[in-house]
Structure 1
Amino acid sequence: MDPADRDTFAPRHIGRNVFPNFLYWGRLVRLAHKQHLLAVRDLTFGYTATYQQLLTDVLHYRNTIHLQLDHETQDRLARDEEVFVNVLGPGGYEFTVAFLALMALGAVIVPISPDLPVKEAEYFATKCTSVAVLTAQKCMKLGGELENVMRRKGDSRFQRIEIAPHIMQTPLPLDRILVSSDKYFDMNKSGQIIFTSGTTGPPKGAVKRRGFFIDVATMFCDQYDMREGDLVLHVLPVHHATGTTLTLLPFLWAGGTIEFRSGGFNTEWTWDRISKGDLDFFSGVPTIYMRLMAHYEQVLRKLPDSHRIKYDQGAQRIRSMLCGTSALPRPLQNKWTSLRNGKPILTRYGLTEAGNAFNVAPWQAMQVPDGSVGTKMAGVDAKLSAYPEGEILIKSPIMFSKYLYDREATANSLDEEGYFKTGDIARKEGDFYFILGRASVDIIKSGGYKISALDIEREILGLDYVAEVMVAGVEDEEFGQRVAAAIVLKPDDKANGLTLDRLRQDLRTSLAGYKMPTLLRMIDGELRKNATGKVIKKALIPEYFPGQDAQGVQKWTGRKSKL
């Protein structure tokens, strides 16, 4: 340290109403002085907060957490060492205050799903050596069970700390909400852990640096032209990346309003909310957009024009509708583009460890080919292992720093040049990228061909009678793998059923013969999905297709199908 630097001899600038010197706090404190701006509206639990109220509650709760921690943990925080704390709650004001309070405390934020059984919650708390779980009112039972389990294991310091009693405090005068004059927070220290979905083994904790908070906030603000006063409807889970890195941190940085609605996605309610005509942004996953469009076609389109117009105009009023995880099927994208008077859903591709790699910016939307997730994000180094088709390899400013306590897994996730190996296969055409799927479950090797399951899914979803589909490879002695499809029909078509013969006939004009499904299973209800709306293929393939001759599986034999 420079001996002339005032930090070597001046008293530390800390206090109950002082935020650490971190760019995010300076931005939010300035926004608090614009008292017309609303930060959060929690529709589920009835909280409404300005930026002044939000910062007041964040400071109060940060101080509360610090006081409840043991002295050893307080000392570790003072030395800026890694201290992990879980956050347990649905998306809403309680979660927002807890997340930001930990950021202000300098702890590492580890959100966990409110829908977990206690055994799984214990795995995450143990894996990150958590010292506490900050618990929303709705999750008090699970938080208490987790506290008991951890203490029975011998961790006497682990505790549940309630959130609700410490929010909606009397707002501090604006001139008393301060930002420290001490050195900047170390941006390279750990800031958050996002656990992977665990599709290839136990979930791994991807550690994000503190600088990640600033980078994702400014990146998405720039990319999607977020502005002061913008209103976003937040319906996504907050223990996954999108729920915090797209629809939380950037909108607060922009000075927008986050309107939370938690408790499970409700299609009818969401359309009624859209019909009010005041939303600027909406973010979802393909499943959400499928459900919304299905409701529109089955219910809203049949309304008299005088009643339907508010839904049409509400959808058209939204400046940007964002979609993550994969490109929308072409027919679905076309329906939304038509409904929104030429404005398509903006797709993107990213993943927990590496952040966003490809996306469609608003100014590009009309030039992006069908099925593409757009072009490379500015400043991101992304390439394919082979051209024009190969595994996506990424170096990004917002890459994870490590898998928690797993150096070997971290090393194995990188190639010899340090690129993160995504395991996803893409095709590049000009400047545009097309996701073909996971190398393990979405690439089917049949009769010498490499086939994208996602391409086939997009075509099947274009059929008027299909609500959901999962396509995968099923082992076969003759072909290596057969193309298998599990299909959910739309409600009005379920009585008619579907045969494999008809499915193949209806796909003849859009799919080559070798891509045609040769196995079919009809599914009642919905395909099971994880919290981000992705179909859990690895679990469903052996369940739906335990064998080619299993009951309920239709099989193509060359001339016709048999059951």
Structure 2
Amino acid sequence: MTGAQAQVAQQPWFTQLFQHAQKTPNQTFICDSRTGIEATFTEFLYEVLAHGARLKETLSQDIQARLYDPNEEVFIGLLAGAGFEYVVLLFAIYSIGGISVPMRAHVHSEEARYFLGACNAVLLTSSQEAAEHGESLSTSLGIDLFTFSPSPATEYANAQFTLMHESSKDPSKTPYNPTRGFALLYTSGTTGPPKGALYTCNSLVLGTQSYLDRLSLSITDTWLHQMPAHWKGGFDFILAAAYAGACLEFCSSVFSPTWF
């Protein structure tokens, strides 16, 4: 990325986000009641690409090489509550070929050690709100921390996106692999230690498309999201809204019968 010029990889999720940003650039994609952030598809897509570039820069040359190896899996922890920053980091990790490991913002240190250790995570990312806890985990677990940092409004105000041709070989972009993991979600652990379920890029695309057939979600809809984002239900709703182009309103911090 250079300034407001950004190349978008032609692959699932990004093709959808690119089309939304082109067709409805000023439509609100995310309303975050906790932080007061309202972001359009243009602002969101720019932040994803910007954070993806920054993320890659923090990784060693050895780990960056692993991102290009179809036989390797690079796991990156995601410490954030459901909201704008969570979704940006989720797609930023995907943009560089990494696999997200979502955790609640105030996950216990021993839980984090288990979740990140089981998959040999190479990095921990966090929202601004979870940054202090992220620093503590980073120190105790011996893993580097990357914290969300908003881009200057002047950068994405005039953002222009270009969809890369499928055949183009950009050395800065990780080749798309549909069988590669997108996210590692852990179960609640009701019947024993939590078990990690790995969802591939292709399985989530197919699952989301099937999900949308039943939801009939469209760009004219608003989805009220009041669930934890590290659980499968809350995770699925985020992907469904992103794919359909619906407005995603994170409202757990204010949700009540009166507010509704």
Structure 2 unaligned regions, length at least 5? 169-174
Q: What does residue 32 of structure 1 align with?
A: 21
| 2:182 pairs with 1:191 | yes
Q: What does residue 161 of structure 2 align with?
A: 176
Q: What does residue 191 of structure 2 align with?
A: 200
Cα distance in 2 for residues equivalent to 1:18 and 1:219 = 29
Structure 1 unaligned regions, length at least 5? 1-15, 152-157, 275-563
The TM-score normalised by the length of structure 2 is: 0.88
Shift of 1:172: 6.3
Cα distance in 2 for residues equivalent to 1:160 and 1:254 = 32
Q: What does residue 218 of structure 1 align with?
A: 209
Q: Deviations over 1:120-159 (max 9, x none)?
A: 11111111111111111121122111111122xxxxxx21
Q: 3-state DSSP class of the match of 1:121?
A: helix
Judged with a 3 Å threshold, the aligned counterparts in structure 2 of structure 1 residues 251 and 64 are, in CA distance, closer, same or farther, namely same
Q: What does residue 123 of structure 1 align with?
A: 114
| 2:27 pairs with 1:41 | no
Rg (Cα) greater in structure:
1
| 2:257 pairs with 1:271 | yes
| 2:40 pairs with 1:55 | no
Cα distance in 2 for residues equivalent to 1:271 and 1:129 = 43
Structure 2 contact 51–92 (Cα < 8 Å) conserved: yes
Shift of 1:66: 0.2
Structure 1 contact 25–179 (Cα < 8 Å) conserved: no
| 2:129 pairs with 1:143 | no
The TM-score normalised by the length of structure 1 is: 0.42
Structure 1 contact 83–108 (Cα < 8 Å) conserved: yes
Q: What does residue 106 of structure 1 align with?
A: 97
| 2:213 pairs with 1:237 | no
Shift of 1:25: 0.9
The within-5 A match list for 1:338-377 is: none
Cα distance in 2 for residues equivalent to 1:84 and 1:31 = 28
Q: What does residue 18 of structure 1 align with?
A: 7
| Sequence identity (%) | 24
Cα distance in 2 for residues equivalent to 1:79 and 1:18 = 22
Shift of 1:213: 2.7
Structure 2 contact 94–182 (Cα < 8 Å) conserved: yes
| 2:148 pairs with 1:163 | yes
Q: Deviations over 1:202-248 (max 9, x none)?
A: 11111111112312321222111111121111110001111111x20
Q: Deviations over 1:73-124 (max 9, x none)?
A: 1111122421000110100000010001111111011101123221211111
Judged with a 3 Å threshold, the aligned counterparts in structure 2 of structure 1 residues 256 and 141 are, in CA distance, closer, same or farther, namely same
Cα distance in 1 for residues equivalent to 2:153 and 2:233 = 26
Of stretches 212-221 and 176-185 in structure 1, the one that deviates more from structure 2 is 176-185
Q: What does residue 242 of structure 2 align with?
A: 252
Q: What does residue 133 of structure 1 align with?
A: 124
Q: 3-state DSSP class of the match of 2:129?
A: helix
Structure 2 contact 81–105 (Cα < 8 Å) conserved: yes
Structure 2 contact 77–102 (Cα < 8 Å) conserved: yes
Q: 3-state DSSP class of the match of 1:239?
A: coil
Cα distance in 2 for residues equivalent to 1:36 and 1:207 = 34
Of residues 75, 78, 81, the one that matches 2:68 is: 78
Structure 2 contact 183–198 (Cα < 8 Å) conserved: yes
Q: 3-state DSSP class of the match of 1:86?
A: strand
Structure 1 contact 233–260 (Cα < 8 Å) conserved: yes
Structure 2 contact 127–148 (Cα < 8 Å) conserved: yes
Q: How many residues align?
A: 248
Judged with a 3 Å threshold, the aligned counterparts in structure 2 of structure 1 residues 211 and 133 are, in CA distance, closer, same or farther, namely same
Shift of 1:62: 0.1
Q: What does residue 67 of structure 1 align with?
A: 57
Q: Which has the higher contact order (CA 8 A, sep 6+)?
A: 2
Structure 2 contact 76–100 (Cα < 8 Å) conserved: yes
Cα distance in 2 for residues equivalent to 1:216 and 1:104 = 19
Shift of 1:21: 2.9
Letter of the 1:160 partner, please give it: L
